[in-house]
Amino acid sequence: MSDDVEFEGEIEARLSEQEYFRPPAKFVGQANVSDPAIHDRFGDEWPHGFEEYAELLDWESRWDETLDASNPPFYEWFVGGELNACYNCVDRHLDERKNQVALLWEGEGGDRSHLTYQDLYREVNRMAAALRTMGVEEDDVVTLHLPMVPALPITMLACARIGAPHSEVFAGFSASALAQRIDDADSDVVVTIDGYYRRGELLNHKQKADQAVEEADTDVDTVLVWERHEGDLHDDVDVVEDRDVLVTDLKADHDRARVDPVTRNAEDPLFLMYTSGTTGQPKGCQHRTGGYLSYVTGTSKYVLDIKPEDTYWCAADIGWITGHSYIVYGPLALGTTSVMYEGAPDHPHKGRIWEIAEKYDVDIFHTSPTAVRMFMKWGPEYPEEYDFDFRHMTTVGEPIQPEAWLWYYKYIGGEDAVIVDTWWQTETGGHLITNLPALDDMKPGSAGKPCPGIQPAIYDDNGNPVEAASGKAGNLVIEKPWPGMLQTVYGDDERFVDEYWRDFSDTNSDDMADWVYKAGDGAVHERDGYFRILGRLDDVMNVAGHRLGTMELESAVAEVEEVAEAAVAAREDAEKGEVPDVYVVLREGIEPSEAVRNGIVRAVEEEIGKFARPANVVFVDDLPKTRSGKIMRRLLEDISNDQDLGDTTTLRDPSVPEQIRDLVHGD
């Protein structure tokens, strides 16, 4: 872990106490869980409580063993069980609700497509047949680069149907980022779309896949291309002969196709989701079929309170884990109706979200603190114009400031909806810390209590547990495994152990009790038993709820010819949570200029994506370094945030931070 973390588990976090809000009685009366015995049930019979989640699914053969912990941290869940995730999300609903809408998709410009479970069944079968025709076999990794259109869940489910793990790369990622993920997964089939709408413009999205295939070392032999307007290919898109195939054509060939869902072992991988870590290389978090699907279905039911008759809207992007778990797999496994929206929340007007909520009579709404801060900035007049009535609201991805929480509660929830603040990660598959909404009072700014069967704790930097509920800050860890956890980092078991386990575990032990999962976050276990999340302790920042590694940004900047050295620091931002500031030393003889600055911004956009664009580029003569030459990013962060500089005497040149500070803030 980074050597400049100063928590030590000693400092009492000085955070203002918040008042509690009771869940409304009308919510409690109808909640999926209102009996507090659930926590004891999961705790006393651990790990067997998790069977309650697995039993929400249809299994082809039941598991023999709930947890095999003989080889930590390579845990196996529901061992011997067999199931198919697509079958559980689609086929099994046909008897009871084939004419119920599964997906209410709304295009940015107002076009729409409403797919019933029967429609979804047909579409998924056609796509599964199409993938098979293109040579995709069980266990081949298929890379998806799809935006928020029905093609995305259809393709994911089609992959699951034939047992091919999908690896969806968020559509906002650049061609280079896509190429990197194609190579890491050694994936030779890519699925993309010609275009999609962003603020009224039909983007040429496919060009990113074209460039990625060119850049990748892997020999991609097939690119499947969906069309945003079926049968009407984007004018600017090129079709590469012998490699590209239009999904529209394939679907026509397989119109009435039926593909039997393949039987998967519970431990067979369902998908990969890449996420940023502390090195330049993103990690492919590998999620298993049985444990993952059980966990997201269980938490969708108990935490999100989803019922089949609800209209549920998670306004995240399926390109991140939130959308995988809580737009696609959990909600569809429960047979509910989900809203999916393609576009920007302020296009064509700032009331767009509430207009959709009113139109579909949404019951459950799910968004990020960044979005809440943005809605707050726009003002209450937008939501006030529309008639909608949420019973349940979720936030995810970042800490929510009490001020934003209170605004969300009042203006969006009308003071009679519950808010659940869910803490979890790409790696954890599903929620780990959050209140079960009917059981515990809400407290603005705190994620809440552990989910059933989950055992979080706070450790100091020396690996010693900090007394529970002592109000002290430290490293957030999870002491026991859970079914939604990642299986490994794709193709790199060693990195899996190094990144998540080594710091707080006895890695020579084969006793599960000696293995502790490091989340990478700082947190406080408050005296009332609630957990308050403080943010990342490693070189990972959180920009508008999206995780970004400083190393990835730094390597993108270092590619720029004029740059000798670069360091990235997270600056707090009222709207986005954090934004990247880039500190750059130029090569000998190069003068700072707008052109160099633009080149740096462009490099980040090209290597990662526009969402990672630096907020500031600061040209400096030198970076603050220790005597051994390690860059002290913490000091840059203090400068970016205009904080006191602490001890700089151990630096090679102690005057450097002051010089940079003068440059940024003036004398």
CA angle (151, 156, 160) in 5-degree steps: 145
Does the footprint of ligand WT7 cover residue 533 (CB under 6 A)?
yes
User: Given the rule CB under 6 A, which of 202-210, 253-261, 515-523, 559-567 is the region that contacts ligand WT7?
Assistant: 515-523
Strand partners, 586: 563
Q: Identify which of residues 522 and 624 has a Cβ nearer to ligand WT7 in the complex.
A: 522
User: Given the rule CB under 6 A, which of 12-20, 422-430, 450-458, 598-606 is the region that contacts ligand WT7?
Assistant: 422-430
Does the footprint of ligand WT7 cover residue 447 (CB under 6 A)?
yes
Structure-token pair, residue 444: 């603005």
Q: Identify which of residues 337 and 422 has a Cβ nearer to ligand WT7 in the complex.
A: 422
Using the rule CB under 6 A, which residue among 31, 272, 314, 396 binds ligand WT7?
396
Using the rule CB under 6 A, which residue among 363, 398, 440, 499 binds ligand WT7?
398
Task: Give, as ranges, the residues between 539 and 598 that touch ligand WT7 (CB under 6 A).
Answer: 542, 547
Does the footprint of ligand WT7 cover residue 322 (CB under 6 A)?
yes
Does the footprint of ligand WT7 cover residue 275 (CB under 6 A)?
yes
Q: Identify which of residues 222 and 394 has a Cβ nearer to ligand WT7 in the complex.
A: 394
Does the footprint of ligand WT7 cover residue 477 (CB under 6 A)?
no
Using the rule CB under 6 A, which residue among 163, 195, 290, 399 binds ligand WT7?
399
Q: Identify which of residues 195 and 450 has a Cβ nearer to ligand WT7 in the complex.
A: 450
Q: Identify which of residues 319 and 335 has a Cβ nearer to ligand WT7 in the complex.
A: 319
Please tell me the distance from the alpha carbon of residue 362 to that of residue 371, in angstroms, as a whole number. 17
Q: Identify which of residues 162 and 400 has a Cβ nearer to ligand WT7 in the complex.
A: 400
What SS3 state is found at 437?
A: coil
Q: Are 390 and 364 in contact (CB under 8 A)?
A: yes
Please tell me the distance from the alpha carbon of residue 592 to that of residue 599, in angstroms, as a whole number. 11
Q: Identify which of residues 337 and 435 has a Cβ nearer to ligand WT7 in the complex.
A: 435
**Measured between alpha carbons, how far is residue 483 from residues 58, 247, 622, 659 in Å?**
16, 35, 47, 50
Structure-token pair, residue 555: 């390597």
Does the footprint of ligand WT7 cover residue 425 (CB under 6 A)?
yes
Using the rule CB under 6 A, which residue among 123, 363, 521, 539 binds ligand WT7?
521
User: Given the rule CB under 6 A, which of 61-69, 71-79, 220-228, 535-543 is the region that contacts ligand WT7?
Assistant: 535-543
Q: With 0-12 CB in 10 A as exposed, 13-18 as middle and 19+ as buried, what is 582?
A: buried
What SS3 state is found at 274?
A: strand
Q: Identify which of residues 397 and 456 has a Cβ nearer to ligand WT7 in the complex.
A: 397
Please tell me the distance from the alpha carbon of residue 197 to that of residue 16, in angstroms, as a whole number. 43
CA 37, 42, 43, 44 torsion: positive or negative? positive
CA 197, 199, 204, 206 torsion: positive or negative? negative
Query: Mutual orientation of helices 594-607 and 175-185 as an angle, nearest 10°?
Result: 40
Task: Give, as ranges, the residues between 234 and 263 that touch ligand WT7 (CB under 6 A).
Answer: none
Does the footprint of ligand WT7 cover residue 174 (CB under 6 A)?
no
Q: Classify residue 451 by its DSSP letter.
A: P
The minimum distance between CB 426 and ligand WT7, in angstroms, equals 3
Q: With 0-12 CB in 10 A as exposed, 13-18 as middle and 19+ as buried, what is 240?
A: middle
Please tell me the distance from the alpha carbon of residue 391 to that of residue 368, in angstroms, as a whole number. 17
Q: Identify which of residues 502 and 597 has a Cβ nearer to ligand WT7 in the complex.
A: 502
Using the rule CB under 6 A, which residue among 269, 397, 413, 453 binds ligand WT7?
397
Q: What is the enclosing helix (H) or strand (E) of 223?
A: strand 222-226
**Measured between alpha carbons, how far is residue 272 from residues 67, 190, 284, 294, 306 in Å?**
22, 14, 6, 17, 25
Q: Are 295 and 482 in contact (CB under 8 A)?
A: yes
Q: Identify which of residues 132 and 443 has a Cβ nearer to ligand WT7 in the complex.
A: 443
Does the footprint of ligand WT7 cover residue 53 (CB under 6 A)?
no
Dihedral pair phi/psi, residue 325, rounded to 5°:
-80, -40
The minimum distance between CB 220 and ligand WT7, in angstroms, equals 26
Does the footprint of ligand WT7 cover residue 328 (CB under 6 A)?
no
Does the footprint of ligand WT7 cover residue 321 (CB under 6 A)?
yes
Please tell me the distance from the alpha carbon of residue 362 to that of residue 372, in angstroms, as a whole number. 17
The minimum distance between CB 229 and ligand WT7, in angstroms, equals 31
CA dihedral of 577, 580, 581, 584, whole degrees rounded to 10: 170
Does the footprint of ligand WT7 cover residue 432 (CB under 6 A)?
no
Does the footprint of ligand WT7 cover residue 449 (CB under 6 A)?
no
* Among 380, 406, 382, residue whose Cα is nearest residue 395: 406
Using the rule CB under 6 A, which residue among 119, 267, 421, 440 binds ligand WT7?
421
Q: Identify which of residues 336 and 542 has a Cβ nearer to ligand WT7 in the complex.
A: 542
User: Given the rule CB under 6 A, which of 150-158, 246-254, 531-539, 636-644 is the region that contacts ligand WT7?
Assistant: 531-539
* Among 648, 324, 452, residue whose Cα is nearest residue 40: 452
Please tell me the distance from the alpha carbon of residue 593 to that of residue 611, in angstroms, as a whole number. 23
The minimum distance between CB 42 and ligand WT7, in angstroms, equals 21
Query: Tell me, what amino acid is at 271?
Result: F
The minimum distance between CB 161 and ligand WT7, in angstroms, equals 25
* Among 620, 612, 603, 606, residue whose Cα is nearest residue 579: 612
Q: Identify which of residues 322 and 488 has a Cβ nearer to ligand WT7 in the complex.
A: 322
The minimum distance between CB 254 and ligand WT7, in angstroms, equals 35
User: Given the rule CB under 6 A, which of 12-20, 195-203, 289-297, 518-526 is the region that contacts ligand WT7?
Assistant: 518-526
Please tell me the distance from the alpha carbon of residue 7 to that of residue 165, in angstroms, as a whole number. 40
Does the footprint of ligand WT7 cover residue 634 (CB under 6 A)?
no
Using the rule CB under 6 A, which residue among 426, 435, 488, 505 binds ligand WT7?
426
Residues that bind ligand WT7 (CB under 6 A): 275, 321-322, 396-399, 421-426, 447, 519-521, 533, 535-536, 542, 547
